[in-house]
A and B are shown apart, each in its own frame.
Chain A
């Protein structure tokens, strides 16, 4: 129905290369997230799929058909824009039906589609209003309604939630996920919000400077990143990166005024790399107060930790201190009773720790 293949996509604006040799296959019904920092080319890639920009080279295949030279209207694609791009002079009903009107769908059919879509999105009481009379969340729904009305092969979302306030964003996120479950159409979704990416995606594609860094399930991207960049981008609070000297297959860490030799799981990679100094990547949730239940795991070690700053987040508390003169964030239970300026015993679980080459930023495997 709506599979997409992007083959060797290149795009440049003048002399700036925006996308470099992108290859990506999206299965029918898949929810794919394109994520990356601003300027990485993710929106350009989306515009290329939609046909709003022209390719420099490569081909785009939708549902087995090469649509590289087709105009947007012949690609059977619907898009939800960041600014919603609702037609300001048309009421909600006409906004939703405009695409049908342009495609000469009979009036009676338009009406039944309008009814179905507006009920699905709970906007049936707003049909006579102009976009200017709607709240942000309502506009968002209308924009989705406009996309849904045409039952396209593929939905494109260009940072659709970034103009909403935090609470509404979480609500709409859930709603988009439900919607995808319900209609099962292929969705490509651009965002720079890693939480959106983790929660919505079947697969995530991470872009940086116009190059595809990694494609994988949210679990793979989070736990098995290919580079420092990907590891750094996903997770909040972010992964800790500490430069460590290697000694006898262990890493030296200075914490709370003492030196420790830390045992790590990925020894083969470490030996293979022949590096004297490596970048240790460890997520804050692997650094906790001592938990008696986890005995018997050889990667669990204890170090002294001096807390400089405490940031309570409600469900848990982030404490910030130093390892090897680098800031380290650890995740504590709010009941742990630690306070800034105090030291305590920190439990370090290195079973999911990963190593990077400090100069190239690539993962040591």
Chain B
């Protein structure tokens, strides 16, 4: 390395980094405010500067948000709703991913008359806005006796998610050479054996992509949650909304902020843990033999 000179190139570089830093700061500022506010007590929030670090950090707001804040008439914090969300998200992600993998396998490698049309129709599901299906879905859930239940919400999310998971898996499997299927057929493997022994082991990157995608979508969903849940089965997003809108006495900004971070933590965690696979999976086109 030569010593740093004030060349035209370096000035340009410095300028670029300055702009990048500025935007990074801009994007991170809200998270910073949320986090610092959640650690302040209400007095400090009222009197102090929004951007200042907490003078005497306290986890009071976090404890309250988790276990005793009021969401409407009940005052049990977010905890029960957090577990509701888990009970909705885990089965919905697992089922929609497995169904999507299977659909994708069939649509990519076992084409039949009309399979392309079916795939097109399924794709259409990706573009239907949530609002459009609210009423018919409510009716269906009512007929199935699943209205206001966790199972009902799982069903809605599975149905809505299958369009996306199928798209992911189908496009991934199209890139796997069909000769592998043929070789396996000649080796005596059937439809399920080929899926299990040849395709599933190749699918780790696309499983990660699909799971992150589905987890984020379902965890963050508010509309289905608010429409199809009853009291006691609401997901965390709905509870967060209720918590923020319930005002007993003054507004507790620190509790609101803590609650919002709690609601967002699982998706953040999933992305941090599996994020590098996410990017890799999205760009993984060819499987080299």
Contact = CB atoms under 8 A, between A and B. Distances in A.
26 contacts: A50-B182, A72-B185, A73-B185, A73-B187, A73-B189, A77-B186, A78-B186, A79-B182, A79-B186, A83-B289, A85-B180, A85-B183, A88-B180, A88-B287, A98-B187, A98-B189, A98-B197, A99-B188, A102-B187, A102-B188, A102-B189, A103-B188, A132-B289, A139-B289, A146-B187, A150-B187
Given A52-B182, A98-B197, A84 B187 contact: no
Nearest to B287: A88
A90 B187 CA distance: 14
Interface residues of A, number: 29
A240 B42 CA distance: 98
A201 interface: no
Nearest to B189: A102
Interface in A78-116: 78-79, 81-90, 98-99, 102-103
A79 B184 CA distance: 10
Most buried by B among A52, A131, A132: A52
Interface of B: 177, 179-180, 182-190, 193, 197-198, 201-202, 287-289
B289 A131 contact: yes
Interface of A: 47, 50-52, 71-73, 77-79, 81-90, 98-99, 102-103, 131-132, 139, 146, 150
Most buried by A among B180, B183, B185, B197: B183
Contacts of B202: 88-89
A85 B193 CA distance: 16
A60 to B, nearest CB: 15
Nearest to B200: A89
Nearest to B183: A85
Contact of A73 (B177, B188, B197): B188
Nearest to A84: B289
A81 B184 CA distance: 12
Given A52-B182, A102-B193, A85 B289 contact: yes
- The prevalent SS among residues of B at the interface is helix
B74 to A, nearest CB: 50
A70 to B, nearest CB: 12
B176 to A, nearest CB: 9
A99 B188 CA distance: 6
Contacts, number: 72
Contact of A89 (B179, B190, B201): B201
The 5 closest A-B pairs by CB, nearest first: A99-B187, A89-B201, A102-B188, A85-B179, A85-B183
B188 A87 contact: no
A132 B287 CA distance: 10
A131 B288 CA distance: 9
Nearest to B198: A87
Contacts of A50: 182, 186
A150 B185 CA distance: 13
Nearest to B178: A85
A99 B287 CA distance: 22
Given A88-B180, A88-B288, 19 more contacts: A47-B182, A50-B182, A50-B186, A51-B185, A71-B185, A72-B185, A73-B190, A77-B186, A79-B182, A81-B179, A83-B179, A83-B289, A85-B180, A85-B289, A90-B197, A102-B187, A102-B188, A103-B188, A132-B288
B105 to A, nearest CB: 15
Contacts of A77: 186
A134 to B, nearest CB: 10
A77 B187 CA distance: 9
Contacts of A102: 187-189, 193
A99 B194 CA distance: 11
Contacts of B180: 85, 87-88
Nearest to A73: B188
Contacts of A139: 289
Contact of B185 (A52, A82, A131, A146): A52
B177 A83 contact: yes
A354 to B, nearest CB: 40
B198 A73 contact: no
A14 to B, nearest CB: 13
Nearest to A156: B186
Contacts of A71: 185
A115 B185 CA distance: 24
Nearest to A53: B182
Contacts of B184: 87, 98
Nearest to A50: B186
A139 B12 CA distance: 50
Nearest to A77: B186
B288 A79 contact: no
